[in-house]
Amino acid sequence: MAKDTMTLTNNATGESYEYDILHATRGPSVVDIRTFFADSGLFTYDPGFTATAACESTITFIDGKKGELRYRGIAIEDLAKHHSYMEVCFLLLNKRLPSKDELVDFDLEIRHRAFLHRGLQKLFDAFPDDAHPMATLSAAVTALASFYDEHVDIDDEAAYLEMAHRIISKIPTIAAFAYRQSLGIPFIEPDINLGFTENFITMMRAYPGGKMHLNATGHDHVKDVEVRALDTIFTLHADHEQNASTAVVRGVASTGAHPYVAISSGIAALWGRAHGGANESVIAQLEFIGSVDKVEAFIEKAKDPDDDFRLMGFGHRVYKNFDPRAKILKKLQDELRDELGLDTELMKIARKIEEIALSDDYFISRNLYPNIDFYTGIILTALKIPTSMFTPIFVIGRTVGWITQWIEFKKDETSKIARPRQLYLGE
């Protein structure tokens, strides 16, 4: 009878080692090599951890070949179409979708926890007016740990959820304050009459007193389609398995640091251009291309192996098929264009690039499809959100995923401090 094990043989010595295969409920199973060094005296070598499972998880599943993404077993397409971001937050934290009454209670709690301690608000004055909101956001979240020191040691479910609800509710306020600080304009406090996403848009746009811009026909208002679009973006960013910033959050969690310090570390990791900052680069490139009639020339540059130019927002480290989140955002982009009457030059350039890339064998053969960053940048620009706020918006959506991953790590009795090894090549 076949055994559920794998045998590794060192051909230099002839020694063999047998390891258990642990089976996944979805996706690849894993070889349990935790005793490999003790057995063989060798380390495994896997730069970027492309073939290494560092944990067990029940939160998010990705099948890159199929273009599949699930939160707690539910397909992202279903969540984006039929459920709000608040429902998704509840799902990630509680492993199930809320009832109607549970959703009302959860939403109200998030609204009331959105306010910041006056002491924390003073921190914003220490930053220069032109500070990037991500720098301010990361620092403020670290500082938040000093106001809630009791979250360092958590030993019951109610305390875990209180800690999680607190950071989820305050991140949009901190992000909006960071943005307004960068402009040197007064803060707009949260409004408990508004839902999560509309409240964030209002804190960014409103004038003192909570009123929107006044024109000849009256005050502007936040449109339902804008709320729906941004809420969907939050949902699509809520979690994404063991990506770079999540690995950082789990790594910091392994040291026993305050959960909000771990979140701050995730924010810092997300800021990188290769991670959450990619959507800013998409818009910068579209602006650089400048007009639709120049698109084909830039496509040829992207295909030229001797040219350093690369199209931003195409391809993905995990998805070798179409990014399922990108499909959802493409449809959302079309709805925005129709409902808001938007057809800017940037949208025309992006549409032309997309049209060529989706029909060109060069891109198809290399699985270079538009990814979530390509569409997110375009949609956020259509919503009149400045590029400096693109990554903070990613942070708002991802915070629930990070804190859920932090909780899962802390509850795992087999977890230990992260300590990768190295192949030393020095003197």
With CA atoms as reference, report the closest residue to 71 among 416, 421, 398, 415: 398
Do 72 and 59 touch, CB atoms closer than 8 A?
A: yes
b or e along 345-376 (b: 16 or more beta carbons within 10 Å of the residue's beta carbon)?
Answer: ebbebbbbbbebbeeeeebeeeebbbbbbbbb
Residue 89 CA to residue 97 CA, distance in Å, equals 9
Residue 96 CA to residue 82 CA, distance in Å, equals 15
Residues assigned a catalytic role: 316, 373
Phi/psi of residue 129, nearest 5 degrees:
-60, -25
Provide CB contacts within 8 A for 129, sequence distance 6+.
181, 182, 183, 184
Sign of the alpha-carbon torsion through 224, 225, 226, 229 = positive
Residue 227 CA to residue 249 CA, distance in Å, equals 29
- DSSP letters spanning 252-300: HHTTT--HHHHHHHHHHHHTSTTTTTHHHHHHHHHHHH-SGGGHHHHHH
Sign of the alpha-carbon torsion through 153, 254, 113, 185 = positive
Do 394 and 281 touch, CB atoms closer than 8 A?
A: no
The single-letter DSSP state of residue 314 is B
CB atoms within 10 A of CB 199: 25
With CA atoms as reference, report the closest residue to 283 among 392, 374, 418: 374
Helix, strand, coil % over all residues of the chain, rounded to 5: 55, 5, 40
Q: Pinpoint the alpha helices (H) of 132-156.
A: 133-147
Q: At what angle do helices 372-382 and 278-289 cross, to 10 degrees?
A: 70
Residue 201 CA to residue 188 CA, distance in Å, equals 11
- DSSP letters spanning 43-102: ----GGGTT------SSEEEETTTTEEEETTEEHHHHHHH--HHHHHHHHHHSSPPPHHH
